[in-house]
Amino acid sequence: MSETPATTPKNFIFEAVEEDLRTGRFSYVRTRFPPEPNGYLHIGHAKAICIDFGVAEAFGGECNLRFDDTNPVKEDVEYVEAIKEDIRWLGFDWGDREYYASDYFEQLYEFALLLIQKGKAYVDDLSPEQIREYRGTLTEPGKESPYRNRSVEENLDLFRRMRNGEFPEGSRVLRAKIDMTSGNLNMRDPVMYRIIHRPHHRTGDRWHIYPMYDFAHGQCDSIEGVTHSLCDLAYEDHRPLYDWFLDELGIFHSRQIEFARLNLSYTILSKRYLKELVENGYVSGWDDPRMPTLRGLRRRGYTPEAIRNFIEQVGVAKNENLIDIALLEHAVRDDLNLRALRVMGVLDPVRVVILNYPEGQVEELEAINNPEDPAAGTRKVPFSREIYIERDDFREVPPPKYFRLAPGREVRLRYGYIIKCVNVVKNDQTGEIEEIHCTYDPQTRGGYAPDGRKVQGTIHWVSIPHALDAEVRMYDRLFTVPNPSKVEDGKTFLDYLNPNSLRILSGCKVEPSLTKARPGDHYQFERKGFFCVDPDSSADHLVFNLTVPLRDTWAKIEVKQKGD
RNA sequence: UGGGGCGUGGUGCAAUGGCAGCACACCAGACUUUGGAUCUGUGGAUCUUGGUUCGAGUCCGAGCGCCCCAGCCA
């Protein structure tokens, strides 16, 4: 294997894998990404995906996709396709290695039989409540079940009949016979199989018993020849059990390594909570652009590259973490800055009339599509006597350091002319500014001042007769606190929902080149932010989602001024 | 009074006994036809405490703090 230290991320997992190869514990590398098909993938999963596929790739190995479908009560095919789609979108390929834990049900059953024969597993008739009581507590040892010492023959017979569906749900389970006094609760005779009379999305009604995670995962890894089974810290306590099953069965022994899951500030990454948001209508669905799901991020305008870069920057360790969402936002700005075409869009329009500009005249001005990418070329933008500008780009009483338009002041219209405000027309009743009257300097076409005079401010604009109407959905973080999963007593994460996480702007005006915008296209509205065309968008009703705003230095200055 | 894990600037990750570094954030400045981008710079960290060592974030002892585990969920 060739060394690529510059591109190979260095973390404790890579080091462990490297060591395993060096010491000969394994001669190849194979990992797996094991989603349960009971929900949609979120950015936390993206971390796991990047690690699972990344480790395999770095060592010339492969990563299997294996659906962990051992519980027909919770799982559904609906999620399988969505999960595959999201992984592909993120940019990973599992080739033809698409597996299901349910593919191995027969083999797992044989494994169970083997353990029963070895006297290492037994059928228990205790009720779920009794099992809990017998388990003991964190500080007190458990008690052995009265059914623990059944004969091998009786266990075999009972277990076969469990499989045949002869017993009601909850009446019996198969348990491993380990140690009811272990300090690790997972070792106190864990349940291996439970009875569930429910059709499975892949095996139909063939089974009446289903293996628990602990009895399935390690053996599936083993069957697939997975060398490194990378998972969440939560499974650290399960590793002794993972190892125990593999050792007792005497089969290929994968190595489980745990790392800390991703936590993101101002959001939640718990499947249960996300589901609650969707089901109770706090968001419009799993793909709501405010959701940290991959579908949500995609619709919001995040790119796979941005997400992968973000994950790489976050690193891999075992520390509990809360990643600043600003890092994610930085990653997407960084990526979009290089590729998004620039356009002009006025979100909160106010009319400007250029008094000395000939009525009916239209000029096609040249605008650069992307200053970061000369290959993106230029386009023509129509200019006329009446234009829209951003309401906030005009102040009757300009505060200090305000560079934009104000009575008697000049400002440059991007790629247009330098204009000067000469008058303001206000609504008699409301006092709201309805129209701003300006004059333009014909010598400044394109925005250049031949006399070399400095014009500090440059603002965006859209020609009124040529403007396209658009709806713009402005998104903000979903929660008002950095860590919504850690709440005050008596409150829930729902109490911290940001009421302003979505603001719909309906009267927006955008330049005519946007007629060719298609759902999924990324744009930068100059001076405002990166936007993405929503799937709801159509030719006669453009809809844009704010992906992330541009850094806004003026907003900072203004906040500071107000604080003084 | 059980078992497992983790403690490095505001956040995250490095430093594998030898000058505590990188990214994001923050602050200041330069540049600017996006108050964007870019560039430069400042400030700021090894949980505590003893020890080993020429030298400790790293090794050893003691303590403290935080997280996870009592599903027939994964």
Mind giving me the DSSP string for A63-83? EEEEE----TTT--HHHHHHH
Model pLDDT, residue A6:
39
- Is the distance from CB of A508 to CB of A470 less than 8 angstroms? yes
Neighbours of A218 (CB within 10 A): 25
**H helix intervals, A265-324:** 271-279, 294-300, 304-314
What's the Å distance between residue A245 CA and nucleotide B61 C1'?
Answer: 37
Of A97, A103, A27, whose CA–CA distance to A70 is shortest?
A: A103
Q: Which part of chain A is CATH 2.40.240.10?
A: 271-341+471-563, 345-460
Distance CA A303, CA A491 (A): 35
Low pLDDT (below 50) residues in chain A: 1-7
Model pLDDT, residue A457:
96
Model pLDDT, residue A8:
59
Q: If one looks up domain A345-460 in CATH, what number appears?
A: 2.40.240.10
A237 CB less than 7 Å from any atom of strand B: yes
Judging by DSSP bridges, how do beta strands A386-390 and A410-413 pair with one another? unpaired
Question: Which chain B nucleotides are covered by protein, judged by CB under 7 A?
Answer: 1-8, 10-16, 23-25, 27, 33-38, 66-74
What's the Å distance between residue A319 CA and nucleotide B63 C1'?
Answer: 21
Nucleotide nearest to A67 (CA to C1'): B74
Q: Which part of chain A is CATH 3.40.50.620?
A: 12-261
Q: If one looks up domain A271-341+471-563 in CATH, what number appears?
A: 2.40.240.10
Distance CA A449, CA A417 (A): 9
- Is the distance from CB of A458 to CB of A452 less than 8 angstroms? no
Distance CA A265, CA A86 (A): 22
**Which residues of A belong to the active site?**
36, 261, 271
Given this structure, which CATH class describes domain A12-261? alpha beta
Neighbours of A169 (CB within 10 A): 12
A236 CB less than 7 Å from any atom of strand B: yes
Model pLDDT, residue A489:
79
Distance CA A191, CA A173 (A): 7
pLDDT > 90 in chain A, percent = 96
- Is the distance from CB of A436 to CB of A367 less than 8 angstroms? no
A199 CB less than 7 Å from any atom of strand B: no
- By the 10 Å C-beta count (0-12 exposed, 13-18 middle, 19+ buried), A18 is classed as middle
Each residue's pLDDT tens digit, A226-267: 999 999 999 999 999 999 999 999 999 999 999 999 999 999
A371 CB less than 7 Å from any atom of strand B: yes
Distance CA A560, CA A177 (A): 66
